[in-house]
Amino acid sequence: MAKKKLNIGLMGCGFMGRTHSNAYNKVNKFFDLEYEPVLKAACARPEDESKLIPFAENWGWQSTETDWRKMVERDDIDVIDIVAPNNTHHDIAIAAAKNGKIVLSEKPLAMNTAEAVEMAEAVEKAGVANMVWFNYRRVPAITLAKQMIDEGRLGRIFHYRAKYLQDWTISANVPQGGQTLWRLDAAVAGSGVTGDLLAHSIDTAVWLIGGMDSVTAMTETFIKERELQDQPGVRKPVLIDDACAFLARFKNGALATFESTRYARGRKNQNCFEINGEKGSIFFDLEDAHQLQYYNHEDDAHTVGWRTILVTDSSHPYMKQWWVPGCVIGYEHTFINALADFLKGLETGKPIVPTFRDGIETQAICDAVLKSAKTGVWEKVEG
């Protein structure tokens, strides 16, 4: 049976452009879906055109644009997928929604809660499907954690602790800003590790155990000045948070600690969390993404222990679409799994999460965290 074509317009051609392009190419080869994405157009700023052209050619994008306003108005586009820097999400998404496009956005959804609310209202008003690309929800081990919690395996939750540690900005010689280092430029990224890394940790936490009540936080910028990537020799103050840690209380009474940094020597992408419940505990580490650790208090006392679940079995989320037990999938598959879910959602009409509306909460928590880091007191999460 012929697939329903879904014409995609990609906004951006950087690292996330690669992961999404790969997903559009592969999703139908592994998942049985009614919809089939068509790589219609890719868009970048005029000054990035020399990068855009070979990008589009490599991935099979049928056309290119250098004006995002044109892109959102093209009749032959069904979906606007935003993989451009954070400060562009708001305007593009709202314009796309107004033009009746389905809107997908990389995370964090926006520069702040106010923007996120406007974006959610725009897609809801337009009645268009939408999703924030919190891809790590689709790591099979994390989806499995969600399933196990929903099965009641943990019982009352006492503790949540999350870390997201990297080490790539320790050297003072790393510049800031520009095409590949905009994550170090507060004007473009909005914040540092809070929006880039903790947003993932927060989204996962809220998905797994529910909403947050209040937080108290600290942030630090270890390297105070860096050269501008686009202007060699020119040094400017670094305005992002290099590191952020916060304490939190969830609405369900659980206590939490969250921490993120790019100064943890030896940690490359250690996005990990542990949940302690009355009946069991769970631990996950993205650096061993194929595993989920699980402690089941109901096991016999003399044989109980932390289990290492090798999440490669056909009984595990997403895995029967891929290879065979013992054969792992990798980073890129989180995007493909997410896309498959989104397309299946279009097909079935069932809610696709996280929507822009869901994205507001993560944004509100990030805002509370950044505010607390300044005020030094506990801040309520708004919304």
Site for its own copies in 140-159 (CB under 8 A): 144, 147-148, 153, 158-159
Question: Which among 126, 259, 275, 308 has a CA at the least distance from the CA of 207?
Answer: 275
Token pair of 315, please? 């009984």
> Judged by CB under 8 A, does residue 260 bind its own copies?
no
Peptide bond into 354 cis (omega under 30): yes
> Judged by CB under 8 A, does residue 380 bind its own copies?
no
Distance set, CA 380 to CA 10, 161, 192 (Å): 36, 19, 21
Question: 132 with 354: CB under 8 angstroms?
Answer: yes
> Judged by CB under 8 A, does residue 329 bind its own copies?
yes
- Part of the chain binding its own copies (CB under 8 A), chosen from 117-125, 189-197, 205-213, 373-381: 373-381
Nearer of residues 101 and 333 to its own copies, judged by Cβ = 333
β pairing state of 291-296 and 280-285: antiparallel
Q: Which of residues 64-93 bind its own copies (CB under 8 A)?
A: none
Q: Report the DSSP beta bridge partners of residue 295.
A: 281
Total Cβ atoms within 10 A of residue 238: 19
Q: From the CB of 335, what's the least distance to its own copies, in Å?
A: 11
> Judged by CB under 8 A, does residue 304 bind its own copies?
yes
> Judged by CB under 8 A, does residue 309 bind its own copies?
yes
Q: Which of residues 46-65 bind its own copies (CB under 8 A)?
A: 58-59
Q: From the CB of 194, what's the least distance to its own copies, in Å?
A: 14
Burial (CB count within 10 angstroms: exposed 0-12, middle 13-18, buried 19+), residue 326: exposed
Q: Which of residues 5-24 bind its own copies (CB under 8 A)?
A: 15, 19, 22
> Judged by CB under 8 A, does residue 210 bind its own copies?
no
Q: From the CB of 292, what's the least distance to its own copies, in Å?
A: 8
Distance set, CA 157 to CA 54, 86, 210, 260, 280 (Å): 50, 33, 10, 22, 9
Q: What is the total residue count of the chain? A: 383
Q: Which of residues 234-253 bind its own copies (CB under 8 A)?
A: 243, 245-247, 249, 253
Nearer of residues 8 and 103 to its own copies, judged by Cβ = 8
> Judged by CB under 8 A, does residue 228 bind its own copies?
no
Q: Report the DSSP beta bridge partners of residue 36.
A: 5
Question: Which among 81, 83, 88, 92 has a CA at the least distance from the CA of 122?
Answer: 92
Question: 373 with 217: CB under 8 angstroms?
Answer: yes
> Judged by CB under 8 A, does residue 125 bind its own copies?
no
Total Cβ atoms within 10 A of residue 369: 28
Q: How many residues bind its own copies (CB under 8 A)?
A: 93
Q: From the CB of 94, what's the least distance to its own copies, in Å?
A: 30
Q: Which of residues 104-123 bind its own copies (CB under 8 A)?
A: none
> Judged by CB under 8 A, does residue 327 bind its own copies?
yes
> Judged by CB under 8 A, does residue 230 bind its own copies?
no
> Judged by CB under 8 A, does residue 1 bind its own copies?
no
Tell me if residue 347 falls in helix, strand or coil: helix
Q: From the CB of 58, what's the least distance to its own copies, in Å?
A: 6
Q: Which of residues 331-370 bind its own copies (CB under 8 A)?
A: 331-333
Total Cβ atoms within 10 A of residue 245: 19
- Part of the chain binding its own copies (CB under 8 A), chosen from 5-13, 126-134, 228-236, 306-314: 306-314
CA dist 355 and 123 (Å) reads 10
CA dist 71 and 42 (Å) reads 9
Q: From the CB of 290, what's the least distance to its own copies, in Å?
A: 8
